[in-house]
Structures are given as C-alpha cells and as structure tokens.
Chains A and B, each alone.
Chain A
Amino acid sequence: MKLLTTILLSSTLAFSLNVQEIVQKSDAIRNVGGSMYERGYIVEYKNARKVDSMTIDIYAKAYGNGFKTLVKILSPKKDKGKLILRSGNKMWLYDPNSKATAQMSPQQRLMGQSSSADVMSANFAKDYRLTLVGVERIKNGAKQMRDAYKVAMRAKSTSVSYPVVEYWIDKENFRPILAKFYTATKKLLKKSYYRKYKKVLGTMRPTQVLIIDGVDTRKATKLDFSHMKQTSLPATWFKKSYLPKFQGN
C-alpha cells in the first residue's frame, strides 16, 4: 500500500514540479540570497551530556550560483579570532596566534559532528545531480508526520563536502526536513534534522540543525542560528589574502 501511494504520488509530481525546482525551492529556504550575516551557537552532546560549545559569526555572499562564506570563531577562548573561509571548492583556516593561513578540507571537523561545511551556505541544486525517489511520510523536526519528497543526490564534483546525500523536503511547503550524508561507498556519516522554523527575513526558515552521528547515535551536535540579517558585505572579505586583515563589523 505504501509502495502504491509512493508510485502514485511520484507520477502526479512529475507533471507539476521537477526535482531541480523542488530542491531549488528548498535551497531558497535554507539560504538567504545576496549577502547575509548570522550568529551560530554550536553545542556538542554525548550520552545526553553537553561536552563542548562554540559561538561563531557567519558572513555569506552569493557568488555566481553558489556562496562564499566566512566564519569567525568567537568562543571558546582558545579558538577566539580564528577565521574559516570557503570560496568555491577551497577552504582556508587563518589562526591569529600563528598569523598563518592553511588550506583545509571542507570535511575537517569544526566541533562535534559538525564539519566546517555544515555552517557554510550550500546550494544543493547546483552542487548535486538530483533524482526524485518518491514521496515518503516521515517525522519532521517537530515530531509531526509529514509527506516529504525524497531526493537522492550525487555530487557533481569531487570537492563537494559529501559525495552522496538523501534529502527529504516537505511536500507542502518545500521546507528541508532531513538530510542523510554518506561516503561515496554509501556508509552513513551523519543525519541532519532541520528544525525550529521561524519567520526570518520574510520566510519560514530553520533556525536549528540537529546533527546525529551516523554510527554512534549517542553523539549529537546542535547548531542554532540567530541574528540573521541581510547586509552589504565587501567582496574583499571573501579573499584568502584578506584573512590576516579581517576585522568584521
């Protein structure tokens, strides 16, 4: 019965929206166009106990079909002032103590289960080849059962942070619900639930991402976003050479 529903719903969909449009609409909810600022609070949990936390400022600027993103770490004190810049496939870390800039992999861990890529704006519709698998009924971040498009995504480029992703998008309003991130060999790395939708800059957007480890589900990392605003940001901020000169607002 479930299979029949899935097939019927999928064929109905094929006449209305293609998968590219579905993911684009979902991307527009996760990302703000133009230039934006927001603050991120990251808390790592293990066995239901808080073990670490981090506060970051995030600056993003739309660039072509993608984004350039600059993250400044505000706390903990030992990491204060470190900058992470993502421009296209490349990512750099600037450490104000050593005054040195080093290239890093987007998969490199930021804190807990979150990699640096998780706090960067990303354009799934552009970065992945998309296949609409069907419609499934799943529990969203608020624990309500919802009909959701299930989209299978394969990275177009080797440098995209996660090679294989399964993505569930609310069928009614295109809100992201859940993403499962896999290695190229389909080993589950982590799951991200998009939660706590609030009206931000005129659109209902997720203000929390809950990341659960793919192997050890006792490990979870919570990313809360606040103070989101559209703002004009100089293009120079998003250059590697500018990192030692960066001060922010």
Chain B
Amino acid sequence: MRLLGIVLLLLTVMHADELEMFDVVDTENNTSQEISNTDFNARIKLSYLAQDNSRNNAVLFADMSDHKKHYVYDLRLVVDGDVYDVYVKDLYYKTELGSAYFLELGRMNVKEGVARGYNPTDYFRGGSALTLSVDPKERKDNRLGAVLVQGTYIAEDYTIKALYAPEISVDESSIWGNKKHFGLKLHETNKQERATLYAGYTGLDDWSLSALVHHDDDGIHLGTNISYIYERAIWYMEASVNKRAEQIIEALDTLHATNALMANFSTDTDYQTELSLGLNYTFENSVVGTFEYIYNSAGFDSHDWKTYFTLMQTSTKYTPMLGKARGVIANNAQRMSKHTLFAMARKSDALPNLDWVVMAWVNPVDRSTLLQVGTSYDCEDMVFSADIRSYIGKAQSEYGSMSNDFEALLSVEYFF
C-alpha cells in the first residue's frame, strides 16, 4: 500500500508543472513550530585519530556555552584515554556604556584577520590549541582565551577597540596554572603583557579596512587588514610588521638552547613581515574556493631548511632540541617557512546533507604538501565526519619530514 502511494506520488510529480509538483509535497506548516531563541549550545564529539607512525588516539570532547546579557561562558571537557581535563575557553563579563561604548572583562577569545589560511594580525593565536585538526577554522574554534579587558566604540562607519592583557605569573601546579584536571593555564594564555589598539573602517561600498598597533614582548607590531568585494570574489590582504629575531631563534631561546646551536642560524634582529594575500571565490555551482599566498620573513628559507636537516642528521645531541623548537613554532601557530601556498575548496550539500572540503598547504620551494580531504554528513542532530591527511614530499622537506605520512581523523558529533 505504501509502495503504491510512493508510485502515485512519483507519477503525479512527473506529470505536474513545477508549481503543481511543489504543492504535492508542500503540506508541512512550518510557521507554527516553536523554536527556542536562546544562545545556549551543548555538544559532544568523539574523535579517533589513526596515524601510520604514531599511536592511534581516541579523544572525547564535550562543550557547553552560553551568551547572556552580562556574561559569556564556554567550557570544554577533554577525555583522552584515562586522562580528563576541564578547560575554560571563555568566561567574561560584558556591559554597554551607552549605545556605542562596550566593555568586556575576563577570559576572552580575541580574533582578528581577514585571511582564511593564516592570520598575521591574530596576535592572540598562540599557545592554546585544543584540537587534532589542521583546518584553520577548526584551530581558531579550539583555543583558550586570554584574560584581558577590552573597550570598544562603534560609530556609524568605524570602530575603535583597545585591549589590555596583563602578564600573569602563577604557580604551575595550582588551579590557575596546570593543575591536573582543572588548570586554567593562565601561564600559557597570559605569559606576556600585551596591548592592542584597533581602528576599523567600513564606510566604503566594496572595501573594508583596519589598522592595528599591538605591543608585546617582541615590541611594537603594526598590522593591517584590507578586503575588497568584486562580483563573486573577495580579495584580501593581511599583514603585520615588527622588529624581532628569526622565529627558530625565538623558539630555541624559549627552550634555553645553547648559543652553539643558535649560531647555526641567523641571530640578527630585523624588521620581520608576515603577509597573507588571497582570494575567496563563490562559483556558480556553489563551491567556495580560497587561494592564499603566505609570506613570513622570519621563517625558514631553503638554506635554513638545509642547515636544519643537516643538524638533525649529524648532531644527535641537537636532534631533540630542534624537534622541540619546531613544536614551539607550531604551538605558536606560526608558519615554518618563508613561502607557503594555501588552497581550499568547500562544497556544502554536494549530495543531500553531505559536504566536502579539500585543503592543501604547499611549500613552493621544496614542493612538499600537506593535503587534507574531508567529508561530513548531517543526520538530524548528529554530524559524522572523516578527514584524511597526507604529508607528501622528500624526507628532507617541510611536510615530508613530519613523523607521519598519513593520518585519518574520524569523528561523530552530537548537538543537544
């Protein structure tokens, strides 16, 4: 009987014009549905990371967040094997001082930048990632905020923001530091004093502009973000300049490496530029593509890579320290090389409820590549996803030298 109904429906649809066809299925009255309009969100995600040369890993993430009139919180539980940790990603007080002035105080995730692959002006990015993903958006999503105070003035066509994050020294074994299960990790998120002044202008039809002055232990950083929309394309440029050492020297210095090791690299302090130049384009078939060139003058050129690999091979006493230094740079969310290309294509609903995304990080000098192909499927309140990553390149290349050649990340996420 049910089969007969389906056949009749299909026959009706096949012989109707487009409006009649639609009326056959348009029987649902959606407008009477009651939908809650709160900002409370809760979700649980189980991820399994399979790697060819490292330990496979299953991690459970649980998130709970809300956005109230005067406060915001975002809490995360991470269970990795028999170890669990509770993180406070955000917890801050907010208030309006008149219709255009705003004040926020507490732990906040502050983000800047128009670029899609790498954000030179995202000055609060380092030291707090809580994810297994390499997707830049995922990495932005999964990090701890810093304790700070922020004042904002929003005018008709421009915005002025000023923020200050103090250096906080804590006993690492205390609840403020890295205490097992409940550490607030203030020693990581507020390890230096920082201040930022931001001015943004949106008064031009197709342009958005902003300028930033940021101060931290590296001195003054001058940053800018520019974007321009033309038809289906958004062109963007994001840049930051400051005077500091090469980032390998900074990383080795953090690790208290010997001068003998550091002497293998340039120890000069100079003006360093980070630049992301890109295009985001929406195709007629609704594929959204991004192509971005990233320049980092403090990163490795081919000579630095050669030195690095030679030291790794010939000086076994330096090998652990150099490996750790690379980890410090990755943890600071900096690009390792001077030149990087980033490309991404994303299509939503390629098949009903099925999205796919392909992204690649390419070192154009040694031609090594990190390629990730991912797909996700929505099923009511659940999302199933699979990402496969491949590190392609010679053993002595940026991505070819990673410990794994292949990784697969499988996740299932439930939204409450």
Residue A9 at the B interface, CB < 8 A? no
Chain A interface size, as a band, is 35 or more
Residue A139 at the B interface, CB < 8 A? yes
**Contact across chains for A43 and B41 when beta carbons are under 8 A apart:** no
**Contact across chains for A96 and B39 when beta carbons are under 8 A apart:** yes
**Contact across chains for A76 and B114 when beta carbons are under 8 A apart:** no
Q: Residue on B with the closest CB to A240?
A: B202
Give chain A interface residues in 108-134, CB to chain B under 8 Å: 108-109, 111-112
Which chain A residues border B286 with CB–CB below 8 Å?
Answer: 107-109
Q: Report the minimal beta-carbon distance from A214 to chain B, rounded to whole angstroms.
A: 10
**Contact across chains for A248 and B137 when beta carbons are under 8 A apart:** no
Query: Which of A19-27, A28-36, A166-174, A220-228 lies at the binding interface?
Result: A220-228
Residue A53 at the B interface, CB < 8 A? yes
**Contact across chains for A241 and B229 when beta carbons are under 8 A apart:** no
**Number of B residues, CB within 8 Å of A:** 72
**Contact across chains for A48 and B9 when beta carbons are under 8 A apart:** yes
**Contact across chains for A96 and B234 when beta carbons are under 8 A apart:** no
With contacts A81-B67, A222-B26 known, is A46 near B352, CB below 8 A? yes
Which chain B residues border A158 with CB–CB below 8 Å?
Answer: 230-231
Residue B288 at the A interface, CB < 8 A? yes
Q: Residue on B with the closest CB to A222?
A: B26
With contacts A81-B67, A88-B205 known, is A103 near B229, CB below 8 A? yes
Give 1 or 0 for each of B11-29: 1 = CB within 8 Å of chain A CB: 0010001111110111010
Which chain B residues border A72 with CB–CB below 8 Å?
Answer: 37
Give chain B interface residues in 315-357, CB to chain A under 8 Å: 348-349, 352-353
Which one of A95, A184, A247 lies within 8 Å of B39 (CB-CB)? A247
Residue B152 at the A interface, CB < 8 A? yes
Which chain A residues border B41 with CB–CB below 8 Å?
Answer: 77, 80-81, 96-97
**Contact across chains for A43 and B39 when beta carbons are under 8 A apart:** no
**Contact across chains for A103 and B19 when beta carbons are under 8 A apart:** no
Give 1 or 0 for each of A182-213: 1 = CB within 8 Å of chain B CB: 01100101010100000000000001001010
With contacts A96-B65, A189-B284, A212-B18 known, is A90 near B208, CB below 8 A? yes
Give chain B interface residues in 55-83, CB to chain A under 8 Å: 65, 67-69
Which chain A residues border B54 with CB–CB below 8 Å?
Answer: none
Which chain A residues border B381 with CB–CB below 8 Å?
Answer: 76-78
Residue A141 at the B interface, CB < 8 A? yes
Q: Residue on B with the closest CB to A52?
A: B353
The answer for the CA separation of A105 and B287 in the assembled complex, in Å, is 12
Which chain A residues border B111 with CB–CB below 8 Å?
Answer: 98-101
**Contact across chains for A108 and B229 when beta carbons are under 8 A apart:** no
Q: Residue on A with the closest CB to B230?
A: A158
The answer for the CA separation of A87 and B202 in the assembled complex, in Å, is 9
Q: Residue on B with the closest CB to A191?
A: B18
**Contact across chains for B67 and A107 when beta carbons are under 8 A apart:** no
The answer for the CA separation of A76 and B41 in the assembled complex, in Å, is 12
Q: Report the minimal beta-carbon distance from A197 to chain B, rounded to whole angstroms.
A: 15
Residue A2 at the B interface, CB < 8 A? no
Q: Given A74-B37, A98-B141, 9 more contacts at CB 8 Å?
A: A48-B13, A76-B381, A76-B415, A78-B378, A81-B67, A90-B206, A96-B41, A187-B284, A222-B26
A-B contact pairs, 17 of them (CB 8 A): A48-B10, A48-B25, A77-B415, A98-B111, A101-B111, A107-B232, A107-B282, A108-B282, A143-B20, A183-B284, A187-B284, A191-B18, A193-B19, A207-B31, A212-B22, A226-B31, A247-B67
